[in-house]
Structure 1
Amino acid sequence: MTVTEATRTRTAGATPGCVPAGRAAQELTLKRGEFDLAVHLGLIAVEPAAPGGRPRIRQQEIDRLRGLPGFPGSLRDQVRTAGTAEAATLLGVRPVRFTGLARIGCVTPVAFYLNRYRAVVWLYLVDDLLAFAAREPDLITGKSPAGMRTMLDAGVDRRARNWRSRRIDRLLSRAEDPWTRAALQASALDPVQLAEVVEDPYERAYLARVQPDSVFGRPGSVSGREAMERLMLADDPDEILWHRVNLTLELERARELRPAPRPGCDTGFHPVRSGPTPSRLARSRLAADRPAAGLPVPASPQAGPSPRRPAGRPGAGRGLLVRIGLRRPGRGDR
């Protein structure tokens, strides 16, 4: 019996038909970062984790991928990334030209890492770069358009914003529960913006509990997690408005399905998480103005829903602009 077969046998004894992520990455001959990216892009299907557990991969999924034409090169090519210098070389331009194209949104980062100076280094899918070069050859070889120069002179940099949009869209594509979808929209808002849209502290606590992890795999370094938390927050007015509106709409659907749990009340629904507990940012958003998620607390005049609205449906009956905090309620809204 080979080492791989023995490992499969031991793993199957713990969780029938599934293997942990580290073993799956080895069998697919992927580095751990490549494996995490493949899962994030939907190239590798994972099994939902039990509460407090870690997602696992079915052996059938590994066998399927190993049977694809060109394996392992074909799979590895789909998750190949390039930084600014390599991307510029691939496109045949100077790094400063590529940086300008990325800043105005011609290409969207798929990941990042921190260099030794703790500066963010954006990474781009090589497939995206080649597709852009085929689609916009004039931007590669021609003179920079006046509009591009104007945007760069004004300091436009859409890399973080486009990365956020790509990340949230990818996670939304796998999220079916309305509360989870609302949590993804909430993840882009700072604590003040979030509290303006979601007035109920128990709902904010629940959103933090069900928020999916940003990536599959091992937790990164402390500095990496802090950088992730900073980059996750929307910083442009129209981007903030977009997430506020979408959060409001997703909350309406979620409240219709079930209310957020409160002390002494169990809805019977326990969302499956795909990794460790909520990020430090999610917890810090709630520490100052809400009880710990799922823990009973003494009743207080400030806790619970506002007496002006029915319990379980905060904001019901009010206009959209009032609910996202862009208009004060009038007499008819009170």
Structure 2
Amino acid sequence: MSGHTGTPESTPITDPGPPARATSVTPGRAARELGLKRSEFDIAVGLGRIRTVPDDGGGGRRVTSAEMDRLRTRDGLRDEVRTVGTTEGADLMKVTRPRFTRLARLGLLVPVNFYLNRYRAVVWLYLADELRRFAADERNAAVLTGRTPEGLRDQVRDGLDLRPRNWRGRRLGFLLRQADGPWDRAAAVASLLDPAEVADVIRDPYERSQLHRLRPVRPVHGSPGSPAARIAEEIMTAADADEIAWLRTDLARAVHTARAQHPAPRPVPAPATHLAPDPAGHHGRRHTPTFTTAGHRHTSSPAAARRQRTPHSATGAAAHRPAPVRQPPRKPAPDTARSRGLLGWLRRGS
């Protein structure tokens, strides 16, 4: 038995545009008005029984007044989303509890939800309507009453349990049905993978950031870091090698489609500005723009400008040679002046 239980991608059931908040209600209020538990309401939304629309204020999803009017006139909604556990499910199908559990572990019965009891044991929930239809199908009579084939019994004895994987496949179908765009669909697939697997498939950090921002909120089980929360995280993360490979392929394909339609947001580089003198009284750091000229990258700073104004030649090098300093005439010593005056007098006398 392969155990592959992938849910095909479904078309989102949404209205063309977001309604005004005055003409829609929150999911909590819609559940109360329809007489549903919140968990039953979420299942009905996932199954497509209740149509929701994005909140124009960015607060999640809402139910329009027109949809509420339609649901009030619809009979049997609560029966369609009613869930049962193993004991009640076995009674409903008229089989023993061990047989019911064996059928579920073999993947013939697909859970729709789960919770952890006070002993941190996983309690799986199934749609009562699906169990009734499974028991009524004549093709399933052999597995309900006959002896389970030895090969399948051996798989169960060896630890085969497809309930977590089947639940993940069903949850992915729910998420895809509510996705509003290609990036939402990619984020739905990524939500079932370990972050390391996502980083290995999607190398672009901005695309990973987009997936993280749109990642669907996982159901909460216990306080963060508690044993119950860790068990729930294991159930909600793909574990089988073939399941991981299948989800990685779907993620790469979904991101490729999203990238082609609308690339992930990226920071816009600041435009380069030319050097300008600082205004009087301006305090702060001056921006030194960078330019590329003739294949060389240089910085237009005042010091660089002075260096560029100096020619790189012999004449330019001579321009940097210091000019000789002109010394003032030295005043002769008094004795020297006197001797020079005497000689002049003697020459004039002779």
Deviation string 1:281-324 (CA, Å, 9 cap, x unpaired) is xxxxxxxxxxxxxxxxxxxxxxxxxxxxxxxxxxxxxxxxxxxx
**Alpha-carbon offset, residue 155 of structure 1:** 1.0
Question: Aligned partners of 1:263, 1:187: CA distance in 2, in Å?
Answer: 25
TM-score, reference length from structure 2: 0.65
**Alpha-carbon offset, residue 171 of structure 1:** 1.7
Deviation string 1:206-238 (CA, Å, 9 cap, x unpaired) is 1011123357xxx66536765543322110010
Q: Please, which runs of 5 or more residues in structure 2 have no aligned partner?
A: 1-19, 270-350
Counterpart of 1:26 in 2: which secondary structure?
Answer: helix
Residue 206 of structure 1 is matched in structure 2 by 210
Residue 46 of structure 2 is matched in structure 1 by 40
Match of 2:175 among 171, 177, 197: 171
Q: Which range moved further: 157-166 or 181-190?
A: 181-190
Residue 87 of structure 2 is matched in structure 1 by 85
Match of 1:184 among 166, 183, 188: 188
Amino acid at match of 2:245: L
**Alpha-carbon offset, residue 196 of structure 1:** 1.2
> Higher relative contact order at CA 8 Å, sep ≥6: structure 1 or structure 2?
1
Match of 1:244 among 248, 256, 261: 248
**Structure of higher CA gyration radius:** 2
Residue 126 of structure 1 is matched in structure 2 by 128
Match of 2:71 among 60, 65, 70: 65
Q: How does 1:89-168 map to 2 (within 5 A)?
A: 89-135=91-137, 136-168=140-172
Counterpart of 1:155 in 2: which secondary structure?
Answer: coil
Question: Aligned partners of 2:173, 2:33: CA distance in 1, in Å?
Answer: 29
Q: Please, which runs of 5 or more residues in structure 1 have no aligned partner?
A: 1-13, 266-334
Residue 343 of structure 2 is matched in structure 1 by none
Question: Aligned partners of 1:185, 1:31: CA distance in 2, in Å?
Answer: 27
Residue 10 of structure 2 is matched in structure 1 by none
Amino acid at match of 1:230: E
Deviation string 1:244-302 (CA, Å, 9 cap, x unpaired) is 1111111211111122112348xxxxxxxxxxxxxxxxxxxxxxxxxxxxxxxxxxxxx
Counterpart of 1:182 in 2: which secondary structure?
Answer: helix
Match of 1:29 among 12, 32, 35: 35
Cα RMSD after superposing both structures: 2.1
